[in-house]
Structure 1
Amino acid sequence: MSISIKDHSDSDLLPAAAAALSAEDRAILVNALKNKLQNLAMEDSDILTRLSPQVRKRVDALRELQRYEIVNGIVEVEGVNVAPVDQGDNKGTGDGTEKGVPNFWLNAMLNNEILAEEISEYDEGALEFLKDIKWCRVNDPKGFKLEFFFDTNPFFKNSVLTKTYLMVDDELPILEKAIGTEIEWYPGKCLTRKIFKKKQKNGLNNVKPEIKVEDYESFFNFFKPPQVPEDDVGFDILNDALEQLQNQMEHDYEIGSIIRVKVIPHAVALFTGELGENEDYEATEYDDEEEKHEKKCNRAQTEEGQQVVNVLMIAEQE
């Protein structure tokens, strides 16, 4: 949620009071409001004070227009004089200059309480290479797709990771299934699991070692969502885990919705810490009438505790 100060001629708030003020009084009032907003921003987060003047200028430009080119240092903001920085503080350029807004998307996500719980300390190293997040609608069946664009990194080969949510075409949007990109991890760099080879105690060389897999909690599990059984084989056994699977799918959908509705359109305010967890997210250009209806339906489902994976329910009845 960006905050802007407009001249009184562009605003319809309290027109009578504005007209009664002299030009000098209006200037004093505007300056006072600017100072107050600056103080509030400093109280909410000290992240801006820890940024270099060049990066701070770019963040200010992003308040008005969040651009991929600015975040990634492709286009420089007018009035910014790029100065060399210590190599020890810079991971990117190799020429001693600080480009773009470092770790923009990582910090934006970390400043959302729910997403922060999904991101491990080890995930942060990979998410520092995240350049952009976008979303788009999909049809037949209806749903939406999230796209995560990564710079070349030492963790995986993929330059784009996607997550697609497909919905049942009904009056209320109900999740049918989610599809994620298979991540091509480099050897020894997987953040979601680790494979151990345990040698047999008898020490025989011709005996295959025992393979042990240990799963890790990681944000990148987001791209391997829980799946609905495609048939009813053994469903009586799975039925005991129905509630757990439903909760996992609802949580997965919640994470995707947060990224789409909160993080993407409000990334600048999240990055600076100005957007609190309890604040309402203002409607943006992304919020057309169809999406507002969808969000309203989702809230109703959450409040009533009735968001149900209908594919599972049909299988259970069979």
Structure 2
Amino acid sequence: PSFWLTALKNNDVISEEITERDEGALIYLKDIKWCKIEEPKGFKLEFFFDQNPYFKNTLLTKAYHMIDEDEPLLEKAIGTEIDWYPGKCLTQKILKKKPKKGAKNAKPITKTEDCESFFNFFNPPQVPDDDEDIDEERAEELQNLMEQDYDIGFAENQKLTALLSEGLLRLATEVEGGLVGVTVYRDD
């Protein structure tokens, strides 16, 4: 049941993104599909999940739109918004802070904070439409985040290719609406 979790953890780039908390949700990952996108040029990764106690979605996607196919340059990435069940969001943690002694309000203070998670992959960095809205430092930071995001998507693609070449998976290809899809199956 944890085939895909193991496969993802065995990739150096992807494994750095997987936290211990993520593993509980990733055991429900049942398939990954890669699709080439014709217009705009790029590719899409589809992650199929069984029903699980973390989120309602059974399909999470990440699409990469490229500017140039010969010298691929990432224009933007679009991910699925995850519909988390209450209290199960893995991309945020809830911090409870005790009030100071003698404080009038004796209720604990609750604060939500973003945290590292594989599932941040589906919420890629967004570049503003107007370049004038960002300073040079922020532009460089966004560039680095986009490169890191693309590296993870590329690593996912490479991982699928490696598993295929090792004979651990078999393929079924389909052409539908301008997409060339490759469905990857475990070779059980």
TM-score by length of 2: 0.77
The structure-2 alpha-carbon separation of the partners of 1:167 and 1:269, relative to structure 1 and needing over 3 Å to count, comes to closer
Match of 2:150 in 1: 253
Alignment of 1:303-318 (within 5 A): none
Matched, 1:244 2:141: yes
Q: Alignment identity in percent?
A: 58
Q: Bigger relative contact order, structure 1 or 2, given CA contacts below 8 A and separation 6+?
A: 2
Q: State the one-letter code of the partner of 1:144.
A: F
Match of 2:92 in 1: 193
Q: 2:50 aligns with which of 120, 136, 151?
A: 151
Q: Unaligned regions of 5+ residues in structure 2, if any?
A: 174-188
Match of 1:85 in 2: none
Q: State the one-letter code of the partner of 1:241.
A: R
Matched, 1:125 2:24: yes
Q: Report deviation, 1:199.
A: 9.1
Q: 2:114 aligns with which of 208, 215, 220?
A: 215
Q: State the one-letter code of the partner of 1:257.
A: F
Partner SS, residue 166 of structure 1: strand
Would the aligned equivalents of 1:108 and 1:270 in 2 still touch at CA under 8 Å? no
CA distance in 2, matches of 1:199, 1:265: 50
TM-score by length of 1: 0.47
CA distance in 2, matches of 1:270, 1:187: 40
Partner SS, residue 93 of structure 2: strand
Higher strand share: 2
Q: Report deviation, 1:247.
A: 1.2
Alignment of 1:17-32 (within 5 A): none
Match of 1:203 in 2: 105
Matched, 1:184 2:83: yes
Q: Report deviation, 1:198.
A: 6.9
CA distance in 2, matches of 1:253, 1:176: 10
Partner SS, residue 179 of structure 1: strand
Q: Report deviation, 1:246.
A: 1.0
Match of 2:130 in 1: 231
Q: State the one-letter code of the partner of 2:147.
A: E
Q: Unaligned regions of 5+ residues in structure 1, if any?
A: 1-101, 273-283, 287-318
Would the aligned equivalents of 2:13 and 2:151 in 1 still touch at CA under 8 Å? no
For the pair shown, the structure with the greater C-alpha radius of gyration is 1
The structure-2 alpha-carbon separation of the partners of 1:254 and 1:213, relative to structure 1 and needing over 3 Å to count, comes to same
CA distance in 1, matches of 2:133, 2:164: 48
CA distance in 2, matches of 1:257, 1:266: 12
What number of residue pairs does the alignment pair up?
168
